[in-house]
Amino acid sequence: MTALRSKDYPWILIGLLWLVAFLNAADRNIIVTVMPSIRDEFGLTNTQLALMNSLFFWIYAVAAFLFGRAGDSIRRSRIIMYGLVFWSMATGLTGLSTGFAMLLGFRALVAVGEATYYPTATALISDWHLPKWRGRALSLHQTGVFAGAGFGGLFAGFLADKISWHTPFFVFAVVGVIHAAVLWTFLRDSPAESVKQAQAEPLGVLFGIPPALMLCAVFFLANGASTGVTVWAPTYVHDKLGLDLAGSALVGSATINIAGFLTVPFGGWLADTIARRAPIGRFYTLTIGLTLAALLLLPLTAMTTAAGVGTVLVLTSFGKGIFDGCIYAAMHDVVPPHARATAVGAMTMIGFFGAGVTPFIVAKASESYGMAAGMASLASFYLLAVVIILAMRGSIARAVAANAAQAPA
């Protein structure tokens, strides 16, 4: 317990929350890994599979906004712990599904539970970390998302191949409940209690900062593009290249997430480094990542082997990883502490509406042009986001300066 009271706790916090981020991503992505088995068992169409994923994102979007606002009003540690227990139990129930309707219902519960986490967790991390370290702290935490989606998906595929598609839901649920007990002992709110000191209504603060609203639009485009790829890549590899579930998870999911896992810390470091030289350096870093993600996704249509597809997914994910490494720190650069959970909740809501749209775009495009072309077309989303950021450079600079001037010593 002494360590928890020491100057090391901000980094101990990253370790505690890293596993929560891992489970948050792993639990939602189990279903992506086992989609071919679910499709075959229940006789589902691609449109039904897209609905199953899009429903999750749309419910998550609304719930993230609501829980983000709650994260600026009540103890952030409690929201995180209770949310973990709730979505872990819902994940376990998903494994008991006997039809499409049950899958949709339990998937909705997982979405509600998981939406408690990210807005509140990122705000809690920023509560504990000084601005000069904030990008690296948030990006290290973000690696848990990629590890969960990548390694978690790979392990889920292995369990599904060896036992059944139901099994990974049960296994990850148990791990989540156990870790919630660990958090109950060790997770702490910031001593500053910045949430309780807030005077202005967080929603009013958010709507008064144009660059914060701009980041919501950028996240809609970027998250939509990446989700359209990650939802369909494993199924595309399974159907077109004939790999089993573990193999398709390796090529179509683990590649994306391992690349992100390795690149996100670099994105956080790069953003912190550029920000020391230019006040809006984190926003410039966003444009670097988005441009690379777009350009490196385009060759997907030319790939006909597992190695080729995997290489394109790795390369485009390097760019997206740079973006992910600084998106939350960029939001916190323009939003004061007492409104950060609300801001990230709003950004998450808008972003996950985008994530709910793009699986349908890819599914429909695949009927006429093929799934690879549908996924590659999402590069246009990344490029549009770059244009929006660059067009608002002046407004961003003013917001960063205003937020820095108001920051406590």
What pLDDT, on a 0 to 100 scale, did the predictor assign at position 90?
95
- In this prediction, what percent of the chain has a pLDDT beyond 90? 41
Identify the CA nearest to 27 among candidates 198, 197, 144: 144
DSSP conformation class of 3: G
| Sign of torsion over alpha carbons 138, 144, 147, 150 | negative
Identify the CA nearest to 345 among candidates 53, 14, 28, 60: 60
81-93 in b/e burial notation, b at 16+ Cβ within 10 A? bebbbbbbbbbbb
Q: What is the mean pLDDT of residues 161-180?
A: 92
Which fold, 3-406?
Growth Hormone; Chain: A; (1.20.1250)
CA distance from start to end of the chain: 28
Considering only residues 338 and 115, tell me which one the structure prediction assigns the higher pLDDT.
115
154-178 in b/e burial notation, b at 16+ Cβ within 10 A? bbbbbbbbeeebbbbbbbbbebbee
Check pLDDT > 80 for residue 263: yes
CA angle 148, 272, 270 (to 5 degrees): 70
DSSP 105-147: HHHHHHHHHHTTTHHHHHHHHHHHS-HHHHHHHHHHHHHHHHH
What pLDDT, on a 0 to 100 scale, did the predictor assign at position 393?
94
Torsion of CA 33, 58, 228, 117, to 10 degrees: -60
What pLDDT, on a 0 to 100 scale, did the predictor assign at position 408?
56
Q: What is the mean pLDDT of residues 100-128?
A: 90
Domain range summary for the chain, segments of one domain joined by +: 3-406
294-322 in b/e burial notation, b at 16+ Cβ within 10 A? bebbebbbebeebeebbbbbbbbbbbbbb
Structure tokens at 350: 């808008």
- In this prediction, what percent of the chain has a pLDDT beyond 70? 95
Read off the pLDDT band of 80 (50, 70, 90).
very high
66 burial via Cβ count (<10 Å: 0-12, 13-18, 19+): middle
Query: Does the reported pTM lie above 0.85?
Result: no
Structure tokens at 396: 């961003």
Check pLDDT > 80 for residue 219: yes
pLDDT tens digits, one per residue of 1-32: 444 556 788 889 999 999 999 999 999 888 88
Identify the CA nearest to 206 among candidates 197, 218, 214: 214
Mean pLDDT of the chain: 87
Q: What is the mean pLDDT of residues 91-98?
A: 90
What pLDDT, on a 0 to 100 scale, did the predictor assign at position 2?
46
The residue type of 263 is T
Q: What is the mean pLDDT of residues 90-107?
A: 90
Torsion of CA 211, 216, 134, 190, to 10 degrees: 110
